[in-house]
């Protein structure tokens, strides 16, 4: 029952991955790794430097000289690039709109995956992203693929923005999510895809607590 396992959570934008991953990591006292934040961090730095998100070679050089740290706070995780706190900046629309282009390059993914795997060497990790179950942690004891309808996902992002006092346009959010789904699902390297041995949960009509309960039941079984 006390085995330290690896938990891989994948799915499209706003399916609820990071929300439930954080809660589960806290319940199990595991490390939580938000791999999307790593791709966002590189994208943020590339935009600062005026590097074209299509330019894989320049991005790779940049990544090699960039430190990306995920630091666990009490209630949330902070993201640092070269020692600078960029937790808020990496969620800005300009980063969101370029991140899927930055993350399509094979060399970038290879280096990111190498860094992500280092976090998981001792197990006891909850990692969320797009290719965790298929590529980063193919031997994870627990693989969960979260889905939700696009209207519900856009509504969730809309409400998040309203809460933060950021102006948001629902229709634009639908479009942005659909575009990212399409880029992430159709790229050549490690596309967004459910691993064959992952269980699938459709969160469209479920509360966060209901999703967490379902996942914890499954995790307890797998930890035995
Ligand atoms: O939180 P949200 O669902 O908006 O996205 P995210 O998890 O922060 O990921 C941002 C983007 O990074 C995704 O749309 C993917 O393009 C990329 N990503 C990836 O390619 N592979 C991962 N393991 C995680 C994220
Ligand atoms: O990480 P990912 O992009 O998959 O999604 P998220 O950022 O965890 O969740 C998006 C939003 O949906 C958050 O504001 C959650 O509070 C909300 N949510 C929800 O309303 N119902 C769920 N079952 C899961 C998340």
Q: Tell me the ipTM for this assembly.
A: 0.97
Q: How confident is the model at residue 102 (pLDDT cuts 50, 70, 90)?
A: very high
13 Cβ below 6 A of ligand 1: yes
Q: What pLDDT is stored for residue 166 in this prediction?
A: 86
State which H helix or E strand residue 126 sits in: strand 125-129
Q: What pLDDT is stored for residue 74 in this prediction?
A: 72
Q: Where does 71-169 have alpha helices with state H?
A: 93-102, 106-119, 150-164
Average pLDDT, the chain: 95
Q: Are 37 and 79 in contact (CB under 8 A)?
A: yes
Residue 57: pLDDT over 70: yes
Residue 13 counted as an annotated binding residue: yes
Cα→Cα distances 190→90, 151, 165, Å: 22, 26, 35
Residue nearest to atom 21 of ligand 1 (CA): 130
202 Cβ below 6 A of ligand 2: no
Residue 101: pLDDT over 60: yes
Q: Where does the chain have alpha helices with state H?
A: 17-28, 35-49, 56-64, 93-102, 106-119, 150-164, 170-186, 208-223
141 Cβ below 6 A of ligand 2: no
Q: What is the mean pLDDT of residues 109-122?
A: 96
Q: What pLDDT is stored for residue 34 in this prediction?
A: 97
In the numeric block, the tokens 């990544």 are attached to 63
Q: What pLDDT is stored for residue 84 in this prediction?
A: 98
Share of the chain above pLDDT 70, in %: 99
* Environment class of 119 (CB within 10 Å of its CB; exposed 0-12, middle 13-18, buried 19+): middle
Distance 130 CA to ligand 1 centre (A): 6
Q: What is the mean pLDDT of residues 53-78?
A: 93
Per-residue pLDDT tens for 145-185? 999 999 999 999 999 999 989 889 999 999 999 999 999 99
Residue 17 counted as an annotated binding residue: yes
Distance CA 28, CA 7 (A): 11
Ligand nearest to the CA of 181: 1
Which residue among 41, 130, 154, 203 has the greatest number of ligand 1 atoms within 8 angstroms of its CB, and so is best to mutate? 130
Q: What is the mean pLDDT of residues 5-21?
A: 97
99 Cβ below 6 A of ligand 1: yes
Q: What pLDDT is stored for residue 2 in this prediction?
A: 62
Residue 1: pLDDT over 90: no
Q: Is 7 helix (H, G, I), strand (E, B) or coil?
A: strand
Q: Is the pTM of this model over 0.95?
A: yes
């Amino acid at each position: 029952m006390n085995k330290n396992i690896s938990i891989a959570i994948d799915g499209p934008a706003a399916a609820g991955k990071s929300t439930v991953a954080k809660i589960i990591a806290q319940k199990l006292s595991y490390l939580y790794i938000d791999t999307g934040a790593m791709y966002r961090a590189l994208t943020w730095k590339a935009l600062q430097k005026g590097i074209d998100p299509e330019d894989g070679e320049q991005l790779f050089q940049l990544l090699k000289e960039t430190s990306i740290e995920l630091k666990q706070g009490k209630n949330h995780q902070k993201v640092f690039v070269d020692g600078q706190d960029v937790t808020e900046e990496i969620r800005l629309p300009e980063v969101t709109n370029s991140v899927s282009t930055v993350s399509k390059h094979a060399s970038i993914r290879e280096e990111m995956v190498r860094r992500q795997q280092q976090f998981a060497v001792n197990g006891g990790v909850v990692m969320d992203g797009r290719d965790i179950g298929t590529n980063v942690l193919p031997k994870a004891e627990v693989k969960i693929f979260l889905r939700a309808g696009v209207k519900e996902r856009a509504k969730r992002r809309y409400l998040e923005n309203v809460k933060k006092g950021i102006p948001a346009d629902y229709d634009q959010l639908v479009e942005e999510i659909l575009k990212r789904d399409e880029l992430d699902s159709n790229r050549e390297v490690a596309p967004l895809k459910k691993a064959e041995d992952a269980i699938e949960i459709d969160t469209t009509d479920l509360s966060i607590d209901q999703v967490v309960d379902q996942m914890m039941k499954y995790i307890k079984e797998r930890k035995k």
